[in-house]
C-alpha cells in the first residue's frame, strides 16, 4: 500500500503544477510582469504548449501583437526571467536569442526564419542512480517503487521548490542591436509518449548596446528546430533511469 501511495503522490505532484515566465530580470532586478516580456497564451492558465510544429513553440505569445516594451542592456549583462510560481517539473532549461532585422523592431517582429541561436543549456546531472535537474530542484521518482530505497522515499515525499528566477549572461561579443530573448523549460515528466513533453516559453524584447563583433552560429527556426521524436524530447526519465541526456536543439554559441 505504501508503494501505491508513493506512486499516486508522484503523479499528483507533477500533474498540477504549471508555470509562466512573465517578468524580465536585469542585473538582479525585476522589471514588472508582461512589461518587457510578450504576454503568453497561458498567462491565465499557466498551461504548456506541446506541439513542436506549431508557431506557439516560438514565443507562445497571444495574437495579434505583443504590447511589450524593449529594455536596453549591454552585451555581457546578466538578464533572466522570473518563474511564477516556480519551475515545478523535471527537465532542461535553455535560452535562445534572435537578432531583429535592421528594417524591423523588437516590438513588431515575429521572430520567423532561421534566426535563433542558443546561448545557454542546462540539462541533467546524474548521481545515486537518479537524474537531477537544477532548474526544478528535484529528481524524478524511480519506478518500479518496490525498488525504492529509504532515501528515495524521503526525497519523493518531501516538498521541493524549483527555481523562481532563471538568469543567463549575454555573450560579450554579441553584436549591438535589437533581439528577442527566448526562455524555454521542457517538462519531461510525461514525455515517454510522443507529444507528452510540455514546453513553458516566453520571449523578452531587448536592445543590446556596447556590443561586440561576434557571429552567432547554429541558427535555427521555431518551429523547425525540434521534432517530437527527438531523444531530448521523447524520453522516459523514470524507468529505466537514463544514464545520459542531451537537450534538443543546436550547440550553445558562447561568443
DSSP track, 24-65: EEETTEEEEETTSBPPBTTTTT---B--TTSTHHHH-BPSS-
66-111 pLDDT, tens digit each: 689 999 999 999 999 999 989 999 999 999 999 999 999 999 999 9
Q: What average pLDDT does range 159-175 have in this prediction?
A: 88
Q: Mean pLDDT across the chain, nearest whole number?
A: 87
Task: Give pLDDT tens digits for 100-140.
Answer: 999 999 999 999 999 999 999 999 999 988 999 988 765 55
Task: For 226-236, write each residue's pLDDT tens digit.
Answer: 999 999 999 99
Cβ–Cβ < 8 Å for 77, 97: no
Q: Could you tell me the pTM of the whole model?
A: 0.87
DSSP assignment of the chain:
-HHHHHHHHHHHHHHS---EEEEEEETTEEEEETTSBPPBTTTTT---B--TTSTHHHH-BPSS------EEEETT-EEEEEEES---S---EEEEEEEPPTTS-TTT----SS-EEEEEEE--EEETTEEEBTTTTB-PPPSSGGG--HHHHHHHHS-----SEEEEEPPTTPPSEEEEEEEEEEE-TTTTSTT--EEEEEEEEEEEES---------B-TTTS--TT-TTTS--SSSSPPS----SSSPPP--
pLDDT, tens digit, 9 for 90 and up, residues 193-206: 999 999 999 999 99
Q: How do residues 17-76 score in pLDDT, each as one tens digit?
A: 899 999 999 999 999 999 999 999 999 999 999 999 999 999 999 976 668 999 999 999
β-pairing, 71-74 vs 198-209, is parallel
Given this model, what pLDDT does residue 244 score?
97
Cα–Cα distance measured from residue 75 to residue 73, given in angstroms and rounded to the nearest whole number: 7
Q: What are phi and psi of 120, to 5 degrees?
A: -160, 140
The pLDDT, as a whole number, for residue 228 is 98
Contact yes or no for 189/48 (Cβ under 8 A) = no
* CATH of span 2-209: 2.70.50.70
Amino acid at each position: 500500500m505504501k508503494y501505491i501511495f508513493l506512486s499516486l503522490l508522484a503523479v499528483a505532484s507533477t500533474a498540477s503544477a504549471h508555470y509562466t515566465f512573465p517578468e524580465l530580470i536585469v542585473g538582479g532586478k525585476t522589471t514588472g510582469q508582461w512589461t518587457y516580456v510578450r504576454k503568453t497564451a497561458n498567462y491565465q492558465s499557466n498551461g504548456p504548449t506541446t506541439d513542436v510544429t506549431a508557431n506557439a513553440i516560438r514565443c507562445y505569445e497571444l495574437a495579434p501583437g505583443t504590447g511589450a516594451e524593449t529594455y536596453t542592456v549591454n552585451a555581457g549583462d546578466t538578464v533572466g526571467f522570473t518563474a511564477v510560481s516556480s519551475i515545478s517539473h523535471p527537465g532542461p532549461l535553455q535560452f535562445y536569442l534572435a537578432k531583429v532585422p535592421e528594417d524591423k523592431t523588437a516590438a513588431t517582429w515575429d521572430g520567423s526564419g532561421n534566426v535563433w541561436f542558443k546561448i545557454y543549456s542546462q540539462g541533467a546531472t546524474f548521481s545515486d542512480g537518479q537524474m537531477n535537474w537544477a532548474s526544478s530542484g528535484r529528481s524524478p521518482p524511480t519506478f518500479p517503487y518496490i525498488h525504492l530505497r529509504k532515501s528515495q522515499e524521503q526525497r519523493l515525499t518531501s516538498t521541493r521548490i524549483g527555481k523562481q528566477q532563471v538568469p543567463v549572461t549575454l555573450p560579450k561579443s554579441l553584436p549591438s542591436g535589437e533581439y528577442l530573448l527566448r526562455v524555454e523549460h521542457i517538462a519531461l515528466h510525461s514525455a515517454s509518449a510522443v507529444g507528452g513533453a510540455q514546453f513553458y516559453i516566453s520571449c523578452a524584447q531587448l536592445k543590446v548596446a556596447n556590443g561586440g563583433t561576434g557571429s552567432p552560429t547554429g541558427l535555427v527556426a521555431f518551429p523547425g528546430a525540434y521534432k517530437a521524436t527527438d531523444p531530448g524530447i521523447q524520453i522516459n526519465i523514470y524507468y529505466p533511469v537514463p544514464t545520459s541526456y542531451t537537450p534538443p536543439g543546436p550547440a550553445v554559441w558562447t561568443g
